[in-house]
Amino acid sequence: MKNKCLLLTKIQLMSLLGFNKAKNSTDRTQKRKLAGFVALWLFLGLILLFYIVMIAGLFCSQGLGYHLPALSIALSALVTLFFSLLHGCSSLFAMKDYDLIMSLPVSKRAVLASRLLCDYLANLAFTLAITIPCIIVFFIMDHFSAAVLFVTLAASLFAPVLPMMLALIISTIFASFTARFRYKNLLQSFLGIAAFVAFMVANFSLSFSANSENAIDANAIFRVLVGNIYPPALLIEMTLDGEIWAIFLFVGASAAIAAIFILLLARFYEKIHNALAAKSANVAYSADKVRASSAFKTLAKREFKRLFSCPVYLLNGLSGTLLLLIAGVALIFADVQSLLTNLQINFSQAKPFLYAGIGIAIFCIGSGCPSASALSLEGSSRDQLFALPLSARKILLAKAFPTFSVNLGACLFAGAILCWKLQATVFDWVFILASLIVCCSFFSLFGIFLNLKFPKYDWKNETQVVKQSIPVMILVFGSMVVGFGIAFLSFLIDFWITLAFDAAFLLSMIALLIYFKSVRLYV
């Protein structure tokens, strides 16, 4: 079983990261795509490294470096729990290659163990990206013994297990009870949105509370994260204080929970998969549900249904939209004048913040763009769509319409609140709202253009498309550069930088619409 499990894990990892295709393909484009994908993740890793080093430096500067091992374990565990809950149990069930995998001469426990091992390795990489920089900063600034290093690394190896198992247990139980619920995907989507909103509200609350003080209290952060939110990390603290049994309890409990989960789930694996693979509950067909509509309207409704029926697609596609809505609501209750006073800025000099808000909006709508993966999600059933007697432009515009609609609503809401709070002039109202309309239009069209150029139809799970595809990565990092660039330059050259990008976006949209007219969609 051990060799089969490791072989399955290797195959899944190679397929997940695209190494198999790049290695065996004679097309150099595949190798360039893989290289670009790796480069983008390295860039993201550098950003994460910057923030982790800042946090570790803060603790050491306040004489609290000895808390870093437990803090790093707690922080990585919380992030693992959050994203594992958002991901759900789709890595275990309802995979497109289920029939192929189950036809192999392997046991269900080997299949489950290999899938869990893939998730574990991904979470372990993130955990090490947090714990190792913390330990390095701790050693440089405060020094420590070899025992601290050993305990921290041992705890890091098992840190992802408990939160991952907890998330999978919750997701599996929830999926099992809602398997025959007609709107199970919609319910899962809204629960994921609620979890995301709660996480961001807590994050904003922590940020505002930190900004309200003259200095950030690292000890308070430790008490909240370790003492109140993730107490298992206290076992690491107890081990470093001399209680050696604590690390063995941490490791043993993690391994035992994983083993019990695999053994129990293997008995019901096939039943749960079959229930989750069912499209919906049995519903009697009624002829009065048929309604006549235009081709574009029908395709747009189809895209909205697809967006709201896939929890992973919805949450990743609307993450930026949700951030804008949360920021708009928070701005309603914020005392803008006091915030500007703390920054030593007169209220009359706050106009650049209006145009900087457009840059922030660009970052948000670019970081969550459903159109960047809408075409790829057709997968093996794309021939049914491409064979329709419709122009390619109409199909592509229909796929971009949900992205435009949801982003436009959030942008106009947040933009209107920003203009109201900063007492914008009539010109500013018109200019900012018009710019937001242009930005939403451009990103919806540019997202579907990138997906057309870099499709990924051979996915086995929606996560590979909505999180790991090239179009999504380009939009995330591109919107980051453009959005933050506009926000920064707005304080130097006022609204002119936004006007320049608006003109560039308009010209690009005209070019894209002309290009879409000549596109041919092939299976």
Domain borders along the chain are 2-21+37-279, 295-517
Torsion of CA 30, 36, 37, 39, to 10 degrees: 150
* Burial of residue 477, with CB atoms counted within 10 A of its CB: 0-12 exposed, 13-18 middle, 19 or more buried: middle
Query: Which structure tokens are listed for 501?
Result: 């990008």
Q: Which whole-number Å values give the CA distances from 154 to 125, 150, 281, 415, 462, in the listed order? A: 14, 6, 46, 49, 33
Q: Which helix (H) or strand (E) holds 384?
A: helix 382-386
Contacts for 499 with CB less than 8 Å, ≥ 6 apart: none
What are the DSSP calls for 168-198, one per residue?
HHHHHHHHHHTTT-TTHHHHHHHHHHHHHHH
Contacts of 288 (CB under 8 A, 6+ apart): none
pTM of the model: 0.62
* pLDDT string in tens for the chain (523-residue length): 556 666 666 666 666 555 556 566 666 666 666 666 677 667 767 777 777 888 788 788 877 777 888 888 888 888 888 777 766 666 666 555 666 666 666 666 777 777 778 788 888 888 888 888 888 888 887 776 777 888 888 888 888 888 888 888 777 776 666 656 555 555 565 665 566 556 555 555 555 444 444 445 667 677 777 777 788 888 888 888 878 888 888 888 888 888 888 787 777 777 766 666 654 445 554 555 556 567 788 888 888 888 877 777 877 778 788 888 888 887 887 777 676 666 566 656 667 778 888 888 888 888 878 888 888 888 777 777 777 777 888 888 888 899 999 899 889 998 888 888 888 888 888 888 999 999 999 999 999 998 888 888 877 777 777 877 788 888 888 888 888 888 888 888 777 888 888 899 999 999 999 998 888 776 5
What does the alpha-carbon distance between residue 48 and residue 52 come to, in Å, rounded to a whole number?
6
Q: Which H or E run includes 387?
A: none
- pLDDT at position 19: 59
